[in-house]
Structure 1
Amino acid sequence: MPNHSARHSARVHTADDGCFRMRVIGSELLRVAAVAVLVGNFVIGTYQRSPVHTALIGGYLAVTLLSLFVAARRPNAEWRQPLFVLADAVAILLMLFMHAGQGPLDHGHALTPPGLVVVFVLLINAALTSDARHVVRFSSIVFVGWMSIIAAAVANTGLGFSEALIDAEVQRELGLALSFGVTALAVYVIVREYAETATAAEAARRRGSNLARFFSPTVVDQLAGGENLQLQRRKVAVMFVDLRGFTSFAESAVAGQLRHMLSEFRDIVSAAVVRHGGAVDKFLGDGVMAVFGHPAPRADDADRALACAVELVGELEQWRKREEAAGRPALRAGIGLHAGTAMAGVLEAGCHSEYTVLGDVVNVAQRLQAVSMSVGATLVVSEELKSAAKTIGTLTAWRNAKAVTIPGRKLPLDIAYV
């Protein structure tokens, strides 16, 4: 199961990297398009050309080539996007000043259509970063600078405030600047909404990935959707699996041995639990607690729990023999299984909320696991579990014991063991 999770994570990361590369490539292509528009405007434009035009185009071409180089070498550098978005904004302001700030507002000095295209192309480029902060920085610098340039150009004409407002050329420039501002606001809202949606989707994906390590697919869907999580009473089957002699082993074992043993043990148990439609409630050091019947109760919860436990008897013994054959430390396991009514769901506890199962059924299952050693068995099940399971007699040959004393419990229990 961990290998499956690793492959799933690898596929997700590969897809994420692919999307990121596409955004980076798209961003750089938009800068190339902006340069192409500037060059075209310079070649076929009707305004009077000057060294300023050449310097602007050459400078922005250098910025574009630099951004291409950095994107290829350091695509994940945190400073890359803020730096070049700022460079885009500065280039826009220089272009606006070149067109509207060097003379009276007339057709010879107004912003030409190709130049207007560059403004909106680079706004789209800021949006491609998927970061609303970059959109705010770019659009704020451009909008404030644009309005300032218009105000400076109006001041050069000597027009009063009221006269400027009714001047056709001023109205056109103000209209373009305000159109940019409204468009930038709309782009900001879209990018922010996209970012929030993407964040929520990533959180849901990670939550689903974490849940998938311990729950069956049908249970994961319910948990991820927020269903059946409230603490409530219900019939469940609870299983405890524990490694015998682990405490003594841990006193002298090296870290690598402990890590290997616990990892293998947990993988085997949790994989079996998920295969049988159960859920790993928690890991308790060298023990595993699993529950069948929550959050998705089924009529055959007891049967599936019993089938899982019987399967684990064989799997854990095979694992022990493999470890011994490989010359590694190997321990036997004990399993306790009980059925009854429990409180199951999410237990709120301040900053930490836990999905768990509580009640006497849990305590009894844990005690039965301890009883397994005293009766010389690997698996011990209660009479309640036997009564609830329809397949108890078909899975294996059972030995029975009546009125067995359970540590920490006043009333004895009838049990079956193997």
Structure 2
Amino acid sequence: MIAASPARNEVALSGTERRWRRERRSAWLRLLVLGVLVLNLLASGHGDSVLVHGQVIAGYSVATIVAIILALTRRGPAWSTTAFVVVDALLVVALFHEHLFAPGQEFDHSLTAPTLAVGFLLLTHAALRLKPALVVLFSAVVLIGWLLLLAITLVVHAKLHPMAHSEWSTFGVEGALAAAFTFAGFVCYLLTKEHNVALAEALGSEGRRRMLARFFSPSLVAELQSNDAALALTRRRAAIMFVDLRSFTRLTEASEPEAMAALLSEYRQVVTEAVFEYGGTVDKFIGDGVMAVFGHPKTSLDDSTRAVKCGLALSSSLEQWRKARLSKGSAALKAGIGLHVGSVIGGVLESGTHAEFTVFGDAVNVAERLERLCRSLDASLVVSERLLIEAPSFRDGIDWRWKDAALDGRHEKLRIAFLSQADGHSTA
């Protein structure tokens, strides 16, 4: 079961949940950055630029409050994330060049370590959004704004003071700092990109696991996840089971959707539990019909035996389920089960954007027609003689009724055994 805590693995979250989880984390971390900005103002003398530094703090405070509100209310367009990153980058540029915006300040560019640290801190903050494009955007805005504004200032200063000492050495010093910032940005980009690749692989693996869990018993899922060959289309011998509810369509027309949904959910759970208990695979659900397979994707010598065991147990379970619903005054229907064994082709079948694990072949068609016979024979279970030959321990000791049945679309009759709905049966 997936815990409902913020610490859940990102793989278990939907795309929307992951987004808002990151936005909440980012919004609260902004408070930490805001504290660093305030400490920077208090600990470092900013002279005439203190007003500019205060304005940067005020602007960042507003952005932080808005970010927290949006994150907690789970509102705001997708582009708001990009907007916050751009705002943060522009505030960093203003902080780096706060002396340029101070009135009456002479050219004296001295980038302090605490101020530079804020830039790196906000870079890591952008990286924590785990989007490489945002890391590139933040780094690009800071670097271009940082160096371009410094270059313009130096050009203007040289024109206004042609006799003054050249300050272009400052550009070289800050160019080296900018190179370090670029390297840090590149590392953050690589880390976020690697994270997204790993997350995509994990999401693919989780999606694959969930797809497999729809069809296979839990004991098979882990094995199949690491063995793609087992899911490839191949021909093999397997036992096929079809299960269907009697008069379901008629009941649907006269019942509320919620009641029918509850009935179907209970019915599918009973069938799935029985199939998984005996090592079978749920191939598909078709309305009130269920198709199961024994012997694919993993063939065993006792596939036919397990299929018959499952059919006998399931017919009893479905009858008990029907009586339990009747005792509660709920709608209840009889069920029919058809079983046959033969050669099938099975595996993952690609159909455009949809992939489906399935089996097909003559044995599937026969099993489906045997299930249809349950109605005319008033039977709970119909099994082909071929299947009982492969499961000899169940040929005797069961109250089978034998018949040569004609199946739709087939010229030859098929020898079958069935259990009457009225007689019940013993699995001893």
2:52–2:101 Cα contact (<8 Å) kept: no
Give the 5 Å matches for 1:137-216: 137-158=137-158, 167-216=168-217
Aligned equivalent of 1:336: 338
Q: Classify the secondary structure of the residue corresponding to 2:386.
A: helix
Amino acid at match of 1:98: E
**Uncovered stretches (5+) of structure 1, i.e. residues with no partner:** 1-7
Percent identity, aligned pairs only, is 38
Equivalent residue for 1:267, pick from 245, 251, 269? 269
Amino acid at match of 1:365: A
What displacement does 1:397 show? 1.5
What displacement does 1:157 show? 4.0
Distance (whole Å) between structure 2 residues aligned to residue 11 and residue 220 of structure 1: 24
Aligned equivalent of 1:42: 41
1:333–1:378 Cα contact (<8 Å) kept: yes
Q: Classify the secondary structure of the residue corresponding to 1:327.
A: coil
Deviation string 1:302-340 (CA, Å, 9 cap, x unpaired) is 222112111111111011112222222221111111111
Distance (whole Å) between structure 2 residues aligned to residue 66 and residue 124 of structure 1: 20
1:70–1:80 Cα contact (<8 Å) kept: no
2:281–2:294 Cα contact (<8 Å) kept: yes
Per the alignment, do residues 199 and 370 of structure 1 end up closer, same or farther by CA in structure 2, a change over 3 Å counting? same
Distance (whole Å) between structure 1 residues aligned to residue 222 and residue 258 of structure 2: 35
What displacement does 1:416 show? 2.2
1:400–1:414 Cα contact (<8 Å) kept: no
What displacement does 1:14 show? 7.1
2:120–2:181 Cα contact (<8 Å) kept: yes
Per the alignment, do residues 347 and 40 of structure 1 end up closer, same or farther by CA in structure 2, a change over 3 Å counting? closer
Name the Cα RMSD after superposition: 3.1
Aligned equivalent of 2:284: 282
Per the alignment, do residues 26 and 320 of structure 1 end up closer, same or farther by CA in structure 2, a change over 3 Å counting? closer
What displacement does 1:350 show? 3.0
Aligned equivalent of 2:411: 410
Distance (whole Å) between structure 1 residues aligned to residue 309 and residue 302 of structure 2: 10
2:389–2:395 Cα contact (<8 Å) kept: no
Distance (whole Å) between structure 2 residues aligned to residue 218 and residue 165 of structure 1: 76
Per the alignment, do residues 373 and 28 of structure 1 end up closer, same or farther by CA in structure 2, a change over 3 Å counting? closer
Deviation string 1:358-383 (CA, Å, 9 cap, x unpaired) is 11110111111122333332111112
What displacement does 1:211 show? 2.9
Equivalent residue for 2:313, pick from 311, 314, 322? 311
What displacement does 1:69 show? 4.6
Report which stretch shifted further, 90-99 or 219-228: 219-228
Distance (whole Å) between structure 1 residues aligned to residue 185 and residue 281 of structure 2: 49
Q: Classify the secondary structure of the residue corresponding to 2:379.
A: coil
Aligned equivalent of 1:59: 59
Q: Classify the secondary structure of the residue corresponding to 2:152.
A: helix
Amino acid at match of 1:36: G
Q: Classify the secondary structure of the residue corresponding to 2:351.
A: coil
Aligned equivalent of 1:115: 115
1:292–1:305 Cα contact (<8 Å) kept: yes
What displacement does 1:80 show? 5.1
Distance (whole Å) between structure 2 residues aligned to residue 74 and residue 399 of structure 1: 62
2:154–2:167 Cα contact (<8 Å) kept: no
Per the alignment, do residues 417 and 76 of structure 1 end up closer, same or farther by CA in structure 2, a change over 3 Å counting? farther
Per the alignment, do residues 231 and 166 of structure 1 end up closer, same or farther by CA in structure 2, a change over 3 Å counting? farther
What displacement does 1:77 show? 6.8
1:372–1:378 Cα contact (<8 Å) kept: yes
1:47–1:109 Cα contact (<8 Å) kept: no
Distance (whole Å) between structure 2 residues aligned to residue 11 and residue 304 of structure 1: 38
Q: Classify the secondary structure of the residue corresponding to 2:231.
A: coil
2:70–2:76 Cα contact (<8 Å) kept: no
Distance (whole Å) between structure 1 residues aligned to residue 382 and residue 400 of structure 2: 10
Q: Classify the secondary structure of the residue corresponding to 2:47.
A: coil
Aligned equivalent of 2:219: 218
Distance (whole Å) between structure 2 residues aligned to residue 13 and residue 52 of structure 1: 38
Distance (whole Å) between structure 2 residues aligned to residue 19 and residue 350 of structure 1: 28
Report which stretch shifted further, 317-326 or 34-43: 34-43
TM-score scaled to structure 1, two decimals? 0.85
1:234–1:341 Cα contact (<8 Å) kept: yes
What displacement does 1:284 show? 2.1
Give the 5 Å matches for 1:5-24: 8=1, 15=8, 16=10, 23=22
What displacement does 1:267 show? 1.9
Distance (whole Å) between structure 1 residues aligned to residue 390 and residue 288 of structure 2: 28
**Uncovered stretches (5+) of structure 2, i.e. residues with no partner:** 160-164, 420-428
Give the 5 Å matches for 1:118-133: 118-133=118-133
Q: Classify the secondary structure of the residue corresponding to 1:348.
A: strand
Aligned equivalent of 2:96: 96
Per the alignment, do residues 104 and 189 of structure 1 end up closer, same or farther by CA in structure 2, a change over 3 Å counting? farther
1:403–1:414 Cα contact (<8 Å) kept: yes
Per the alignment, do residues 273 and 11 of structure 1 end up closer, same or farther by CA in structure 2, a change over 3 Å counting? farther
Aligned equivalent of 2:422: none
Amino acid at match of 1:323: R
Distance (whole Å) between structure 1 residues aligned to residue 177 and residue 166 of structure 2: 14
